[in-house]
A and B are shown apart, each in its own frame.
Chain A
Amino acid sequence: MDDAERWRDLDLLLTRAGRLVGPGFEPGPELREFLQSPDCRVLCVGAGGLGCEILKDLALSGVVHIDVIDMDTIDVSNLNRQFLFRMKDVGQPKATVAAERINARVPGVKVTPVFGRIEDQPADWYRSFSLIILGLDSLEARRYMNSVVCGFLEYDDEGQPDQSTIKPMVDGGTEGFKGHARVILPGFTPCFECTLWLFPPQTKFPLCTLAETPRSPAHCIEYAHLILWGQVRPGEEFDTDNEEHMKWVYERAAERAKQYGIQGVTFQLTQGVVKNIIPAIASTNAIISAQCVLEALKTLTCFSTGLDNYMMYVGSSGLYSLTTKYDKDPACPVCSPGVPLDVDPDATLQQFIDQLLADPSLGKHLSAPSVSYGSTNLYAHGIFEADTRPNLSRRMGDLVADDGAVLTVNDKRLRGPMRVKVRYGSAMRA
C-alpha cells in the first residue's frame, strides 16, 4: 500500500477546506508532513486502560513520533482491556511492552517508552513535545502534569499569554461507564487547578461509625483496614498489593460482619473498598481515548475547531454526552498571569506592601497582605509574622533579585493567592 493510499482518510481532512475547519487552517500536504516529522512529537502519559487505546489511535491516525511514560508493570487483571499486553508480559513494564507492540504492528511508527515516574523527568523533556495526552487515573498525577505545562506558560506585558509558551494538553479520564475528555491550552482554557472542584470527593466514613455502629459491609471492611490493622499489627505498613494483607483484612471484616449481622462482605468487595476500585469498562476507555486523540489531531493541525473545552460522557443508560465550556479562574494559583507592577528596587518591602495597598486596582482586594517568593515567605502574617518582620525594612532588590519575578500575595480578603509580577526596569528608567 503506498503512502497516499494508506493516509487517504487523513489527507481528506488535511488537504481540503471546509466550513468546520479551525481558524488559520491552511489545507495542504505540509500538514501531514508536519504531523509525521520529528518536529511533531506527542507524549502519552500512562500506558494503562486509556494509554493502550491512545497509543493505538495516535499511531493509526498518522502520528509517527510518540513517547509513552508509565511507572507500572503489567498485572494479570489488566489483560481484559489493556489489549497490547499478553499473559507472558505479566510483570513487565507497561510502557516498554506497549511501545514494542505498537512499533511491531504499525509500520513506520516510532514509539519510545519511559518506564518511570513522571516526577523524575526533567522539565526540558516535557518541553520537547508538541502536545501531551494524559491517560491517568489519579488526581495527583494530573495536578503534577498540570503544574508542568502551566509552568511553561508566560504572559506578555499586557497580560496576554505568549502563544509560543503554550503546551497543549489533552486529558482523558474514565470511571466505570462515565468518562471525560478535555483540552487544556494553558492561559486560554481552564487548567486543572481552575476546576479542581470538578473532581468528586472520595467517600469516607466517620471513624466512630466504623468503630461503634457499622451498618454496611464497607463499614466492616474499613474497620478492619483502618482501625484493627493498626491495633493488631502496629508499625506494619498495610500494602494493598500484598495478598496476605488483603486476606487478613477480608477475614477480620467477615468476622465483624457476622458479629453485627451484616451480609455481603466478600474478598472482591474488600479489594474494591480498600483500593477504592471502580470497575474499568473497556468501551468507555475506547470512546474517551478516541475523543482525546481526535482533539490532539485538531490541535496539531487545525483541520477542525477543537473541543471547547470539556466533554463528559455517560454510557450507563444509553449514550449521553455533554460539552461544557468551563471558565478559567482569574485567581488560579497555577495558570493566572501575574499582575504586572512597576517596583522601585530601592524600595523596602514595607514600601512595596504600602504600594500594593495604595494601588487603585489591587488595593481594594487587600487588607493585610502576606508576600512570598516561591517557598520563601518575605513577609507573612499568622505564625511566621515574628520571623519575617525584619524583612520589612530590607530592600526589594535584595530580597527579590530577578526582574520579572512573580510574587505570591495572600490576604484574607482574597479567595486564592494573587500573583504579582515585579518589574524593576521601567521604575529604574523613571
Chain B
Amino acid sequence: MLKLFSVKDKQKQQEAQNPGGLKPGKMSAGELRIQKDMAELNLPPNITISFPDGKDKYMHFFIVIRPDEGIYRGGKFTFEFTIPTGYPHDAPKVLCTTKVYHPNIDLEGKICLNILREDWKPVLSISSVVYGLQFLFLDPNPDDPLNKEAAQMFVDNPRQFEQYVQRAIQVGTYINNVHFPACMA
C-alpha cells in the first residue's frame, strides 16, 4: 500500500506546475461509452442518424427508419434518443416522434420494447436498440400491446390493418377518430 501524505510537498509542487481544471475535452464516462457505441454503429441504407446539437454532442440524436418491406414499407419514422447521464447503467430514452398506428407504440410515441425498459443491460448498445426498433416494424407484437385497438385489428383483420397503415403512410388518414399524418419516405 502507499503512504499518501508523506508526499504532501510534492503535491504542492505539482499543483504549481499543473494548474487548471479537468483536461480540455474531457468526457463523462457515459459519453465515452456512447462514443464507442457510435464507432460500432453501422446503419443499413434505410436507417439514418442526425445530431441536432452537433456531431460531437452524442447524448441527443434522431434515428430515422424507412422500412423497405413489411406492413410499414414506404414509411418514414423518426425516433428521438436521449442518453441519460447514467448510461449504460440506465437505458437510453427513446420516443417515436412520428405518429404511427402500431400495436407496440402509443399515440404519445411511447414504445413497448423490452430492451428499453425491463430487459435493458449495460452490455446492450445503441445498435441493439436500433435493430430492436427496426424489428418492431417488421414484426409487430399484438400479444403485448400498447395501442390495444391497433393490436386488436392486427389480429382480427390483418388485411384491413395493412390497408389502414399504408393509407396513413401515403396520404394520411383518420383511424378511430385519430389523425395519422402522411409520412412517406
List B contacts of A201 (CB < 8 A). Answer: 89, 120-121
Asked if B36 lies at the interface with its beta carbon under 8 angstroms from chain A, I say yes
**Contact between chains at B36 and A416 (CB < 8 Å):** yes
Residue ID in chain B nearest A419 by CB atoms: B32
B88 to chain A, nearest CB (A): 8
Complex CA distance for A377 and B58, rounded to whole angstroms: 11
Residue ID in chain A nearest B144 by CB atoms: A208
Instruction: Describe A's contact surface by its main secondary structure.
Output: mixed
> Which residues of A, 337-390, contact B by the 8 Å Cβ criterion?
370, 372-377, 380-384, 387
Within the complex, which residue of A130, A202, A305 is in contact with B1, where a contact is CB–CB below 8 Å? A305
A-B CB pair tally, cutoff 8 Å? 170
Complex CA distance for A22 and B6, rounded to whole angstroms: 13
Q: Which of B10-18, B65-73, B74-82, B157-165 contacts the other chain?
A: B10-18
Complex CA distance for A143 and B55, rounded to whole angstroms: 24
Asked if A163 lies at the interface with its beta carbon under 8 angstroms from chain B, I say yes
Within the complex, which residue of B5, B20, B36 is in contact with A124, where a contact is CB–CB below 8 Å? B20
Within the complex, which residue of A143, A163, A207 is in contact with B85, where a contact is CB–CB below 8 Å? A143
**Contact between chains at B110 and A227 (CB < 8 Å):** yes
Complex CA distance for A197 and B88, rounded to whole angstroms: 10
How many residues of chain A are within 8 Å of chain B by beta carbon? 72
List A contacts of B3 (CB < 8 A). Answer: 22-25, 302
**Contact between chains at A208 and B20 (CB < 8 Å):** no
**Contact between chains at B56 and A376 (CB < 8 Å):** yes
**Contact between chains at A130 and B110 (CB < 8 Å):** no
Residue ID in chain A nearest B113 by CB atoms: A207
Within the complex, which residue of B8, B35, B112 is in contact with A410, where a contact is CB–CB below 8 Å? B35
List A contacts of B29 (CB < 8 A). Answer: 143, 146-147, 193, 333-334
Q: A23-B1, A164-B14, A375-B25 are in contact. Are A140 and B85 (CB under 8 A)?
A: yes
Complex CA distance for A387 and B51, rounded to whole angstroms: 13
Asked if A287 lies at the interface with its beta carbon under 8 angstroms from chain B, I say no
Within the complex, which residue of B20, B56, B120, B121 is in contact with A123, where a contact is CB–CB below 8 Å? B20
Complex CA distance for A278 and B30, rounded to whole angstroms: 26
List B contacts of A301 (CB < 8 A). Answer: 5
Complex CA distance for A363 and B23, rounded to whole angstroms: 28
Which has the most chain A C-beta neighbours within 10 Å: B11, B32, B108? B32
**Contact between chains at B106 and A164 (CB < 8 Å):** no
List A contacts of B5 (CB < 8 A). Answer: 34, 130, 300-302
Complex CA distance for A34 and B8, rounded to whole angstroms: 11
B58 to chain A, nearest CB (A): 8
Q: A333-B32, A375-B31 are in contact. Are A387 and B118 (CB under 8 A)?
A: no
Residue ID in chain B nearest A24 by CB atoms: B3
Which has the most chain A C-beta neighbours within 10 Å: B36, B38, B39? B39
List A contacts of B55 (CB < 8 A). Answer: 377, 384, 387
A124 to chain B, nearest CB (A): 6
Chain A 28-48, CB-CB to B under 8 Å as 1, else 0, gives 000000100001000000000
**Contact between chains at B7 and A163 (CB < 8 Å):** yes
Residue ID in chain A nearest B109 by CB atoms: A230
Jot down 29 A-B pairs with beta carbons below 8 A, ordered by A: A24-B2, A124-B19, A143-B86, A164-B10, A164-B13, A202-B90, A204-B117, A204-B120, A205-B118, A206-B114, A206-B117, A207-B117, A211-B106, A227-B106, A230-B108, A231-B108, A234-B108, A299-B4, A302-B5, A374-B24, A375-B56, A376-B25, A381-B40, A382-B42, A383-B38, A383-B49, A384-B38, A412-B40, A417-B35
Q: Give the 3 A-B CB pairs with smallest separation, nearest first.
A: A374-B25, A123-B21, A24-B3
* A-to-B contact residues, CB < 8 Å: 22-25, 34, 39, 122-124, 127, 130, 139-140, 143-144, 146-148, 151, 163-166, 168, 185, 188, 193, 196-197, 199, 201-202, 204-209, 211-212, 226-227, 230-231, 234, 299-302, 305-306, 308, 333-334, 370, 372-377, 380-384, 387, 408, 410, 412, 416-417
* B-to-A contact residues, CB < 8 Å: 1-8, 10-11, 13-15, 19-33, 35-36, 38-43, 49, 55-56, 58, 85-86, 89-90, 104, 106-108, 110-112, 114, 117-118, 120-122, 144-146, 148
Q: A127-B15, A196-B89, A381-B40 are in contact. List 18 more A-B contacts (CB 8 A).
A: A122-B21, A123-B20, A124-B19, A151-B26, A163-B7, A164-B7, A168-B4, A185-B2, A193-B29, A208-B104, A211-B145, A231-B107, A373-B25, A375-B35, A377-B35, A380-B39, A381-B39, A382-B39
